[in-house]
Amino acid sequence: MTSESLYDYDIHDTKAMKEEADMKVIIVGGVAGGASAAARIRRLDEAAEIRIYERSGFISYANCGLPYYIGGVITNEEELTIQSPESFRERFNIDVHVRHEVTAIDPGSKKVTVHDLDSGRYFEDSYDKLLLSPGARPTEPELKGLDLPGLFKLRTVEDTLAIHTYIQEHHPSSAVLAGGGFIGVELAENLCQLGLSVTIVQRPRHLMNTLDPEMASFLHARMKRAGIRLMLGHTVEGFEAADPSGADSGRIHMLLKDEEPIDADMAILCIGVTPDTELAKSAGLELGTKGSIVVNDRMETSAPDIYAAGDAVEIRHRVSGQKAVISLAGPANRQGRIAADNICGGNSHYPGSLGSSVIKVFDMTAASTGLSEQAAIKAGLSCDKVYLSPQSHAGYYPGAKPMYLKVIFEKESYRLLGAQAVGYEGVDKRMDVLATAICSGMSALELKDLDLCYAPPYSSAKDPVNMAGFMIDNIKNDRLRQYFWHDLSELPRDGSATLLDVRTPGEYSRGHIDGFINIPVDELRDRLSELDPGKIAYVICQSGIRSYIACRILMQHGFDARNFSGGYGLYAAISHDEMLAEKVSACGMVKD
């Protein structure tokens, strides 16, 4: 090798290294996925040129905190914006352009067109790697009146400030929300706490489609108790100004199908979100479910050197294996990190989403992970379930609160499919344990073996998650046979079966299901002769514990006994939207 060629080689190599070192990354969308990716790229590659274009006026803002700013829980606007373009530049040496919308991508020439929303100027910028994290926009069906001044949506800090300012200036006394998902429920609570009279209207018959209807009924009760009017099973057809002359500019009529309109001082459209993928579509990227961007597990799109993350992408559901769109901050942040690793030459993979989520509803918490029962059935899975109503910690230690826990598993294989819980304390902890169990591929039978921490202020020696495992183990070994709330209407009431309520006479007299006779569990052994062992016994108590004990007595005396999973408490919640019992005593120790 001549010195010249050596020199050429060195020059070339240095140039290649320099090109690699000076990789230029453009990121579209500077919030959950985009900002996470940008910071990670910088941590991996000090030399990369990183530029974020963000359409709104803020980056890395706390979407999840927006409803709480409206409600006055978060009082300082600055708390919502975790980073500013300046702080991002200072900390990470990242070039951030807010109020800049990327309007086109040319994957062939690796260029984007950018619209500076303040100056109106359009310009081009080039990239080596492009990451799209444009999120999801509020779903806006083709309804009349969506541009009315008293009608809002909630996605950005600007939307939040608009709602906040409207409330400050117009002092509305009522609000009507179209949609009762996460954002609708959080907004309802926050507006209610500001003193507004709040109505939620939606077509589905229960709030929060991540929950099965019977679990959502506890939230219905809590919201109604707070004075929120729930109009479930009603269809919104549009909006009209209540005063077409414009004198009372904000007041609005929500138009309903085949019903009188609802009149309110303001309205918010929160019927769900849709991946914001017009840009990706016009660039010719492959789109999937609900128009989301198709990515592989390295977060690579169908175009070379273009990555995508967050609410805009299609993911694989970790339980069903099906393609899905899940709009949550945790997945968006993790996907942004994975895209960043791969942009920087790494080899990170996204395993899919479980959709684990949690929401505060006044003093209650509702959480879920994996598939709901409804979603599992829709996915073609054959599932079984247990309900239990444990306390948040040992009943003898002050302050224990009830919760309802539902664990869904596949019949035969006992694969864990999902779980949901509603209660006051310890709900998120149980859901996180169950989410971890699902992620690690544990079977529902293994829940009984989980070695979880315990002291009376925190849990019970048999944690609710262990208890679910014990119940599922009993099902497998035919020590527990169950029937459910949806079986009640089909139970034989012609005398061919025994319908038995084993609560105390006092509990029974305060409310029971038609056709059920009362023999308290503690009297059952002495009164077995009153029952016909030839008939199936359908047994119920308040929570499912005493009825399980009764079933064990009956089964060991030759009866075919079935336990009502979830107990009368669940039945009452479903049939009357009743709250969880607020005063609890140790399971099975209820006295009149």
**Nearer residue to ligand FAD within complex by CB, 63 or 389:** 63
Q: Which residue is nearest to ligand FAD (CB)?
A: 310
The dihedral over CA atoms of 217, 360, 387, 531, expressed in degrees to the nearest 10, equals -50
Q: What is the DSSP letter of 318?
A: T
CA distance 188 to 93: 40
Contact with ligand FAD (CB under 6 A) among 66, 293, 383, 431: 66
In angstroms, how far is CA 290 from the centroid of its own chain? Answer: 18
From residue 327 to residue 366, the character string flagging contacts with ligand FAD as x (rule: CB under 6 A) and all else as - is xxxx-x----------------------------------
Asked if residue 292 binds ligand FAD (CB under 6 A), the reply is no
The answer to whether 241 and 252 have CB atoms below 8 angstroms apart is: yes
Angle at 53 (CA atoms; ends 134, 315), nearest 5 degrees: 25
Residue count of the chain: 592
**Nearer residue to ligand FAD within complex by CB, 299 or 521:** 299
Asked if residue 60 binds ligand FAD (CB under 6 A), the reply is no
CA distance 227 to 205: 18
Give 502's contacts (C-beta < 8 A, 6+ positions apart). 518, 519, 520, 521, 524, 539, 540, 541, 546, 547, 549, 550
The DSSP annotation for 467-494 comes to HHHHHHHHHHTTS--EE-GGGGGGS--S
CA distance 310 to 64: 14
CB of 178 to ligand FAD, least distance (A): 15
The dihedral over CA atoms of 367, 372, 373, 378, expressed in degrees to the nearest 10, equals 170
Residue 138 corresponds to which tokens in the numbers above? 């509020």
Task: Report helix, strand or coil for 424.
Answer: coil
Query: Near ligand FAD by CB under 6 A, which window of 51-59, 364-372, 434-442, 566-574?
Result: 51-59
Query: Near ligand FAD by CB under 6 A, which window of 26-34, 404-412, 475-483, 542-550?
Result: 26-34
Contact with ligand FAD (CB under 6 A) among 23, 32, 471, 584: 32
Asked if residue 130 binds ligand FAD (CB under 6 A), the reply is no
Asked if residue 274 binds ligand FAD (CB under 6 A), the reply is no
Total interface residues for ligand FAD by CB under 6 A: 34
Contact with ligand FAD (CB under 6 A) among 279, 325, 338, 570: 279
Asked if residue 291 binds ligand FAD (CB under 6 A), the reply is no
Residue 209 corresponds to which tokens in the numbers above? 């489609």
**Nearer residue to ligand FAD within complex by CB, 309 or 419:** 309
Query: Near ligand FAD by CB under 6 A, which window of 62-70, 73-81, 451-459, 500-508?
Result: 62-70
Classify burial at 360, counting beta carbons within 10 Å of its beta carbon; exposed 0-12, middle 13-18, buried 19 or more: middle
Strand pairing report for 315-316 and 306-308: unpaired
Give 96's contacts (C-beta < 8 A, 6+ positions apart). 30, 51, 52, 54, 59, 85, 88, 89
Asked if residue 185 binds ligand FAD (CB under 6 A), the reply is no
Task: Report helix, strand or coil for 120.
Answer: coil
64 catalytic, yes or no?
A: yes
**Nearer residue to ligand FAD within complex by CB, 230 or 299:** 299
The answer to whether 376 and 553 have CB atoms below 8 angstroms apart is: no
**Nearer residue to ligand FAD within complex by CB, 57 or 588:** 57
Asked if residue 293 binds ligand FAD (CB under 6 A), the reply is no
Asked if residue 55 binds ligand FAD (CB under 6 A), the reply is yes
Query: Near ligand FAD by CB under 6 A, which window of 48-56, 314-322, 434-442, 571-579?
Result: 48-56
Contact with ligand FAD (CB under 6 A) among 48, 50, 151, 183: 183
Catalytic site residue from 64, 192, 344, 439: 64
CA distance 191 to 200: 11
Tell me how crowded residue 550 is: count the other CB atoms within 10 A of its CB: 26
The answer to whether 216 and 96 have CB atoms below 8 angstroms apart is: no
Nearest to 70 by CA among 217, 227, 177, 204: 177
Asked if residue 34 binds ligand FAD (CB under 6 A), the reply is yes
Asked if residue 133 binds ligand FAD (CB under 6 A), the reply is yes
The answer to whether 401 and 391 have CB atoms below 8 angstroms apart is: yes
Contact with ligand FAD (CB under 6 A) among 25, 26, 29, 130: 29
CB of 28 to ligand FAD, least distance (A): 5
**Nearer residue to ligand FAD within complex by CB, 185 or 262:** 185
CB of 179 to ligand FAD, least distance (A): 12
Residue 48 corresponds to which tokens in the numbers above? 């990369």
Asked if residue 63 binds ligand FAD (CB under 6 A), the reply is yes
Q: What are phi and psi of 85, to 5 degrees?
A: -55, -40
Contact with ligand FAD (CB under 6 A) among 276, 410, 463, 473: 276
Asked if residue 314 binds ligand FAD (CB under 6 A), the reply is no
Asked if residue 287 binds ligand FAD (CB under 6 A), the reply is no
Query: Near ligand FAD by CB under 6 A, which window of 59-67, 385-393, 518-526, 581-589?
Result: 59-67
Q: What is the DSSP letter of 426?
A: S
CB of 147 to ligand FAD, least distance (A): 20
CB of 369 to ligand FAD, least distance (A): 12
Asked if residue 272 binds ligand FAD (CB under 6 A), the reply is no
Give 34's contacts (C-beta < 8 A, 6+ positions apart). 27, 28, 52, 54, 59, 131, 133, 309, 310, 336
The answer to whether 166 and 172 have CB atoms below 8 angstroms apart is: yes
- 202-221: contacts with ligand FAD (CB under 6 A): none
Query: Near ligand FAD by CB under 6 A, which window of 24-32, 80-88, 430-438, 561-569?
Result: 24-32
**Nearer residue to ligand FAD within complex by CB, 274 or 474:** 274
Query: Near ligand FAD by CB under 6 A, which window of 166-174, 226-234, 310-318, 435-443?
Result: 310-318
CA distance 51 to 331: 22
- Give me the amino acid identity at 414: Y
Contact with ligand FAD (CB under 6 A) among 26, 27, 39, 67: 67
The residues binding ligand FAD (CB under 6 A) are 28-29, 31-34, 53-56, 63-64, 66-67, 101-102, 133-135, 154-156, 182-183, 276, 279, 310-312, 327-330, 332
Could you list the active site residues?
64
